[in-house]
Amino acid sequence: MPAITRGAEYDVIVIGGGSSGENVAARVVRGGLTCAIVENELIGGDCSYWACMPSKALLRSGQALRAARTVDGASQAVTGEIDSRAVLRRRDAFTSHWNDDGQVRWLESAHIDLARGRGRLTGEKVVSVAPAAGEPFTLKARHAVAICTGSKASIPPIPGLETAAAWTSREATSATEVPRRLLILGGGVVGCEMADAWRTLGTEEVTLIVREPRLLVNTEDFAGEAVRVSFEQRGIWVLLGVTTEKVTRTAGGEINVEISGGRTLAGDQLLIATGRSPRSDDIGLDTVGLRPGMWLAVDDTCRVEDSDWLYAVGDVNHRALLTHMGKYQARACGDAIAARAKGELTEDPPAWSAFAATADHASVPQVVFTDPEVASVGLTHERAVAAGLNVRSVDYEIGNVSGASLMADGYKGHARITVDEDRKVIVGATFSGPGVSDLLQAATVAVVGEVPLDRLWHAVPAYPTMSEIWLRLLETYGL
């Protein structure tokens, strides 16, 4: 890739070369503009190297093994246990061994320039780049700067935690040794997925320390309960409604966590999975009138409020902290930037429909890749009620569907749809059980498309598949 010259000008400069940044850049180039990405780590970002891909690679082998063991005839063939070294090797392959040469070649093929170094705003449409070696240099944008710096693990203010050498999600997904005892603070997606993964890989004691009254509090209550029951059956201890008072690491390396009620838990490693904070504290926001370290509020084209040139895409805008939603925002944002640069987009919001990312208001799909999986889209029943909707929720046991019983002997799973009774459309759906992630896209289409139930009734599911759950849910509703 040719070197970027000092003081070079581009139509668009993207700060952050993760999945969101790559997609913004690709769309503006497709729209006929020039673009440079500034990145100080690996092109591809957290998703490729420390989040989505490595975490799912760690989880998949255990899912496959347990699935085989639930089918008579196949279970007799499974005579061994997980080979943790083989799983870690496979994980390493999915991260390209933390080498981004392939991603850089993609940038070249897409005609996107790369500036290696830490990018910071130094004024309107001006970005300084501080490379690891060499002198800093400046780039200028003719039309827009897009901040795509993502988020990082949020470390709670617990005494002793800062010096305890605890894992965050990055260390948990890239570790090369299986800890014997793992303590996890947090019962959200990261905490649950990593509890599942490391228990499967051979960690003898895994304990989740959760402040909330249940796991996965942002999903329907039955989903978190299904995961809790499964975890405890597999020897993962779940402590709910407790707070962490203090953390210490002994000279011998043992971690001690003091929790409410006067108890102390001991482990060999501690994972902090208590939320995320924006990577916006050292990118020069103060030079353009914004506060460093803040989430950046944006409109539906991802343009920062009160700005006509600054955009923020992905986690950093706090709309939906998911890779697929960041990519979705990026596609809309890149198209909007290109259209504005060519005078094809008016500033009347109703005219933005082709350039607006609106699904992250109430139509966000997400999968928690635990065993059982949890797949959801849209509003939970509780959130729909809080939003003032007149809703009715319908539940059905997925194990009663023929396709599910074929997938696994004694299949256990649950489904719920939440219906806006005034419009007769589904506003939310949640599934828990093995393999339910494959049900999610149909639910997403129904929610985003606002498909009327009497029309959805004619979307006939193939027999015998798990998708027959849709027929049973609609029958239970009364159609």
Task: Tell me how far apart the alpha carbons of residues 320 and 358 are, in angstroms, rounded to a whole number.
Answer: 11
Report d(CA 20, CA 5) in Å as an integer.
Answer: 25
CA distance 167 to 454: 50
Say how far apart CA 466 and CA 70 lie, in whole Å. 16
77-100 tens-digit pLDDT: 999 999 999 999 999 999 999 999
Sign of CA dihedral 31, 36, 41, 42: positive
Taken in order of first residue, the domains within the chain and their CATH numbers are 9-44+100-152+278-355 (3.50.50.60), 169-274 (3.50.50.60), 372-477 (3.30.390.30)
Chain-centroid distance, C-alpha 236 = 23
Write out the two tokens for 314. 């992905």
Q: Provide the total of helices (H) and of strands (E) in the chain, helices listed first.
A: 14, 21
Q: How many CB atoms lie within 10 A of CB 1?
A: 12
* pTM, 2 dp: 0.95
CA distance 442 to 369: 18
What gap in Å lies between CA 4 and CA 200, rounded to an integer? 46
| DSSP letter (8 states) at residue 86 | H
Residue found by looking up tokens 């690709």 in the block:
26
Could you give the CA distance from residue 363 to residue 376 in angstroms, rounded to a whole number? 9
In DSSP notation, 229-297 reads HHHHHTTEEEE-S--EEEEEE-TTS-EEEEETTTEEEEESEEEE-S-EEES-TTS-GGGGT--TT----
Tens place of pLDDT per residue across the chain (479 aa) = 555 766 799 999 999 999 999 999 999 999 999 999 999 999 999 999 999 999 999 999 999 999 999 999 999 999 999 999 999 999 999 999 999 999 999 999 999 999 999 999 999 999 999 999 889 999 999 999 999 999 999 999 999 999 999 999 999 999 999 999 999 999 999 999 999 999 999 999 999 999 999 999 999 999 999 999 999 999 999 999 999 999 999 999 999 999 999 999 999 999 999 999 999 999 999 999 999 999 999 999 999 999 999 999 999 999 999 999 999 999 999 999 999 999 888 777 667 777 888 998 999 999 999 999 999 999 999 999 999 999 999 999 999 999 999 999 999 999 999 999 999 999 999 999 999 999 999 999 999 999 999 999 999 999 999 999 999 999 999 99
For residue 107, the model assigns a pLDDT of 97
